Amino acid sequence: MRHLLCSLSATVASLLIAVLLLPPAAYAKSKPLDAATVHARIVKRGLDNWVGVEQANGVALFGRIIAINPDSFTLQLPNDPEPVSVAYANVIDLRTGFSRGQKIFAICAIAGTAALGIWGFVHVHDLQQQKLPTPTAPAFP
């Protein structure tokens, strides 16, 4: 039984080392975006919302959606007075910001960390105020 447990521990440790040594690209590849998916995500994001777009030619844009058309959408870039039209078929990566679940997780994590920190501060401060009674007579005669 002990030999089986030792070999199992060695196997798990070897697998963990192998996983940690893999390059990050080997973990997961993002699914390629097609025009219909991009269109659906842009419509879901809506007008006057910010998105980041990477096109097939390597150009990365970040701007506010000002128009949604059947085959393209139009972005207003922050430092450019002219709007830019982007075809759905040319988009290879689309960044729409944090999802609702990610926002809730971040808020809960921050609140939990703050609560834990406050509890720890109060607990340590309370322990420092409690003083042990000093013995008046020696324990052994």
pLDDT on residue 13: 85
pLDDT, tens only, 63-121:
999 999 999 999 999 988 899 999 999 998 888 877 778 889 999 999 999 998 888 88
pLDDT of 1 reads: 62
The rounded distance, in Å, linking the Cα atoms of 50 and 66 is 10
Q: Is the pTM of this model over 0.75?
A: no
Strand order in the sheet with 91-95: 84-87, 72-76, 60-68, 50-55, 91-95
- Neighbouring C-beta atoms of residue 28, cutoff 10 Å: 7
Q: Which segment, 25-29, 64-68, 129-133, is predicted with the most confidence on average?
A: 64-68
